């Protein structure tokens, strides 16, 4: 959350202001179950590199659904359904 806020407000000490820090970079390292990271390259709220970073920090088994044209609100289409189904199927 802090990194995303710094993207929009680089001159404000957002780390001191934000009540909820959502320190996902640290938390993702402690998750020991399968993870699906989804992110669209056209996201104007959370930069795409942040989704890639979370994916890279995640432990195996990990899966990704990265799309070129989706923004912060992903399109619910056949590709998304297939990715979700594949992830759920991998859990069995």
* Torsion angles phi and psi, residue 47, rounded to 5: -55, 145
Cα–Cα separations (whole angstroms), residue 10 to 13, 20, 31, 33: 8, 18, 30, 35
Q: Please give the mean pLDDT across all residues of the chain.
A: 88
> Which is nearest to 65 in space by CA: 53, 49, 51?
51
Give kind and range of the element (H or E) at residue 4. helix 2-8
Whose structure tokens read 């990271």?
Answer: 37
Which range marks the domain in which residue 36 is found?
2-90
For 17-56, the pLDDT digits (tens) are 766 667 888 999 999 999 999 999 999 988 999 999 999 9
Instruction: Give the total number of structural domains in the chain.
Output: 1
d(CA 10, CA 4): 10
Q: Is the pLDDT of residue 4 over 90?
A: no
Confidence of residue 13 (pLDDT cuts 50, 70, 90): confident
pTM above 0.85, yes or no: no
Where residue 21 sits, what CATH number does that domain have? 3.40.50.1820
Tell which wins on pLDDT, 78 or 8.
Answer: 78
Q: Are 3 and 24 in contact (CB under 8 A)?
A: no
d(CA 69, CA 80): 12
């Amino acid at each position: 959350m802090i990194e995303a806020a710094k993207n929009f407000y680089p001159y404000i000490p957002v780390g001191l202001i934000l009540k909820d820090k959502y320190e996902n970079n640290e938390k993702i390292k402690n998750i020991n179950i399968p993870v699906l990271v989804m992110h669209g390259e056209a996201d104007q709220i959370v930069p795409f590199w942040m989704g890639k970073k979370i994916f890279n920090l995640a432990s195996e088994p990990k899966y990704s659904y990265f799309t070129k044209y989706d923004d912060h609100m992903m399109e619910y289409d056949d590709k998304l359904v297939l990715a979700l189904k594949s992830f759920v199927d991998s859990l069995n």
